[in-house]
Chain A
């Protein structure tokens, strides 16, 4: 039997007239990385805030590690760690002090706390900087510190709200490595929200696509891609006698001759179709010079489902404003 770490049933959250989350239902399996993909304002952060007991749902039910987020918030809080979308480390304190405060708030003390802090800092490669004030840290270092902090009390579930928002590509890739490492080494169930297609594809075992507070599709990245239609295989031939051959077989949806030495095949699943294509063409004596295929991206899926693209933007105006105010006031 599959164990579910998070179960959400018909979650609704209204802020006045605005319905932020509109009947969301999903289940997250133990130990998986579950991605919540959607544009800004789709209800991702609100969902995380409900699951982490920061706000109460207007209606619906949610269980985290079999505990009800409304009825047993204190129990839920013990088993979760969270990295907020907005930075929440104290930049006047050092990395070590930030983790120390976190640990004490969670009731960890003394030698045990010290060992855990050092371990956590080593895990995110910040041990060298443990006594530096966080205000000297780069965006990526801060995010890593927040990850270390969220793991300090060894949660069963880790919530990551837009973990790479506003980071440069290299730093993002590095954060992804850490997230994969957390799952591999610590066996933590991870619930992550993102509006970056590539992030969801790279990290998530399963993805729910959310738009206007509703889940419009759910599945593995591969399953979702098939929603948007077929995959396309392009084949270039080395020497063609007369006319490039088309393959008529039941795994091919459509075959088209493009040029005098290339064809295009539409297939359901390119990775399964390719060996068959090789076999077929080899047996007929054709030499393949080049073969490539394009899979529909999650962006194509979103486009297909909503008629819109997920805009790849760096936070809202409000977030930027907050960043400016923060710099000025702290």
Chain B
């Protein structure tokens, strides 16, 4: 995918340019950074001043050669922040909207209904749907239209945080089930990490960082103390029915077993402030997870510190980088320093399923 867009906006000029092989790209940045304008240029809702947009070798826009495909033929599935459902239609008619245009393949519709659990909503008027239901319908409508590119513009942005976390697994499952290239705009690092394999950070219309979501969004200036770690791995069930998530490096984390199926890939969230830190493995503690780790970074922000620690597997292999928050006082008292050892301690219930 090539995305090179220059567009004059009221407050600044949007200038974003990147070329990537990644199929799921996150666009991260604060409100008003130009993220929605970027997506609208890709969808053909706005015309850039200049640039080039190319998806899977197909040129959608190229100012140099005068190519500017009509939105009707761009093959883009767009999910804006407010869903933008057709208010005079039922849920089912919204899902079948592309029947009047590029068509709705029966299997795509069936998959969208199944993965997003839309079956019970089909006959409902969209005005009676809740915010979360509306976003699921909007996502289903875009996916059922069999797009070549999915544009997700903060699809969970209008929902409160608990609801966002409940809807996120649908989004993760849907993007995995359809395997369509996508651009996902969000200012929630957890969502970007859960969905994307690469992220670009846009601030005031300029691309300021790019790379692996965990690395880029875990940087101190973006992570914040409410940072949420993502644990992605394969589920194992032991003889007593407890579920363990096996992460890279063989690091094992006990997670809630409800709904867990052996051998499946799973995604869990773990908030930075849900992790306790210790210098030695604690005893007589109810928390089930005690991970050996090595401190890689300590980023102070006033009285708060965000600690980045590399987990170590049983054989000493390097596991995932997790972030934990603590106070400056706690850091001093423990004597935590870069490259020093640390134990990460957290409860099974602190891990909540995201997909």
> Do A and B make up one complex?
no
Chain A residues with CB under 8 Å of chain B are: none
